[in-house]
Chain A
Amino acid sequence: MNAQTSSVGHPTSGHEPVFVGDRRNELDDILTRYPTKMAALLPALWIVQDSRGWVSEAGMAEVAEALELTPAYVKGVVTFYTMYHQHPVGRHFIQVCTTSPCQICGAEEVRDAFLRHTSCEELGVTSEDGKFTVIEVECLGACGFATPVMINEQFIESVTPAKVPEILRGLK
């Protein structure tokens, strides 16, 4: 490996820092709530994801530096939790609950309808235009409103296959 490739391969090269200005203040404020810096790890990762759409290796390295942790430790935590995206996802990230209570109310048909109408070829694979990613999610905690679907931060209750085209039309 020559010097040039190692520099290109460094996780923070070309990374625009997340924790500057308001976001740095937000993190500083969060740090006052806990007796350890490490406790701010989940909130810090949320700040990264909210500002960048996903948590890159460079983002993890920046969090690690801010909280005096190692990048490997941060990655270990990131990989434990399903909501942190470790790679970019579609502009509309669609999560369909298909756990047992929703399954018996037809959630699998809702999932299939989203796949069909977004032209996503399979679960977890972003559509070619980069607009959609559809995944199955485990229990969203709204079982009486089957089928609940989350599209980014938006929580939609009582989705049926028939409602899917209209929901998708409403997305920017």
Chain B
Amino acid sequence: MGYPHKPHGRETTVLSKHFGNRDAITLDGWKKFGGYKALGAALEMSPGDIVTLIKDSGLRGRGGAGFPTGMKWSFMKPGDGKPHYLICNADESEPGTFKDREIMRWTPHALIEGCAIGSYAIGAETCYIYIRGEFTEPLERVEAALREARQAGIIGKNAMGSGKAINIWVHKGAGAYICGEETAMMNSLEGRRGNPRIKPPFPAVSGVFGQPTTINNVETLAAVPPIINQGANWYKKFSRSDNPKSTGTKLYSVCGNIQRPGNYEVPMGFPFKDFLYELCGGPPPGRKLKAIIPGGISVPIQTLAEAEASLMDYEGFVAQGSMLGSGGVIVVDDAQNLVRFIARAARFFAHESCAQCTQCREGTAWTTKIVERIAAGDGSIEDLDTLLSIADNMTGKTICVLSDSCATPVVSGINKFRADFEASIKKRTMHPVPAVA
């Protein structure tokens, strides 16, 4: 639901049904809402059948990349004699995104249930939930829920009496956006600096501690129990008739210049225009929407026309010049200077670069300097070409995509909102040239 607002009639609440309801936080409360029924059912199934069911549901990764979850799980080979690991990515730090936070705050057992089913399906006896260090309340609630689940024998050496060991531990991050990148997260878990690793080898072959590993986002794992309970066909229904590639419901965190910021859950293919104006209430009084980032700050900025024509799913946003990403919707109104906004985004990436790759280390820093210079009214028109050239050198050339992510708002900003940049540049103080006598 539109937490912290009342649910809107056009939402479809599967994951967010209990947001804001304190009863859902505890094990007793969660059981009243049907909690751990899915885990019980899953433990009666074979791991292979669970993987097939998740494949059939069409569930795709909700962290940003949209990789099919069932296929990711199928890369793991239970019974190969190696220890397997599941990592739940709860490092949510993509600017604009705050959905996993609410899942962990209000329904920690939903996440634990998803983690337990995922662990069983991929043959992992150990699952780590990597939660960013700044999430003090989600950390407390997930830890408390894990203690309850352990005490009740739901997880542990003999999960729900199944004879299977499913141990789940919280690993607390310590402040690093890059640790949300899956290979950086594995390094961080191992007690290293959070530098991303070169792929291949992919995590399913050699992941954390050199063993087969699967990494799934919080929202992805929380979607697993409802799919087990209600079936793949039920989940597939949440899609548009002409696009079977995106299924299910999706949580969107909405922030920026919007009347009702918060979390909303809608089925795949929902019209973005209705979403922005009806569900979220549109721009603040007297303002107009100007630019929209639909999937966290790493995806291309949309013009208002692109946003209003978008259907909210993986393919729908791509068709309108952007990406679904993490579902972090950032709304910018016509009172904002987009150059300042982009300068601050660039500064974010410069701060968060792990500095392994030259293109990223240098590129994020120089991009920041130049965009800030333009924002301060000291830029030149040539700076725009310089920025695009730097961006080109930052894209597709590094170990991970942080570098690309920094280039994205700059390139889409210059291409789609060039007038904002030119207006900032024209403000530059011109030194009068003395007339030649």
Chain A interface residues (CB < 8 Å from chain B): 33-36, 38-43, 45-46, 67, 69, 76-77, 80-84, 95, 98-101, 103-105, 137-146, 150, 153-155
Contacts and interface: CB of A to CB of B under 8 A. Distances in A.
Contacts of B330: 100-101, 143
B351 A138 contact: yes
Contact of B171 (A38, A43, A100): A43
Interface of B: 4, 83, 92-98, 101, 126, 132-137, 167, 169, 171-177, 188-194, 209, 253-257, 261-263, 297, 328, 330, 332, 336, 340-342, 344-345, 348, 351-352, 354
A43 B130 CA distance: 12
Contact of B177 (A67, A84, A139): A139
Count chain B CB atoms within 10 A of each CB in A36, A143, A145 and give the residue with the most: A143
Contacts of B190: 36, 38-39
Contacts of B297: 99-101
B23 to A, nearest CB: 22
B123 to A, nearest CB: 16
A140 B253 CA distance: 14
A99 B354 CA distance: 18
B257 A141 contact: no
Contacts of A155: 134-137
A95 B173 CA distance: 17
B262 A144 contact: yes
Q: Which 7 A-B pairs have the closest CB atoms?
A: A41-B191, A83-B175, A82-B175, A143-B255, A81-B174, A144-B261, A38-B191
A80 B351 CA distance: 11
B189 A39 contact: yes
A34 to B, nearest CB: 8
Contacts of A140: 134
B135 A98 contact: no
A139 B133 contact: no
18 contacts: A39-B209, A45-B174, A100-B297, A100-B341, A101-B256, A101-B330, A103-B341, A103-B344, A137-B134, A138-B177, A138-B352, A141-B97, A141-B98, A142-B98, A142-B101, A143-B95, A144-B254, A155-B135
Contact of B191 (A42, A83, A142, A144): A42
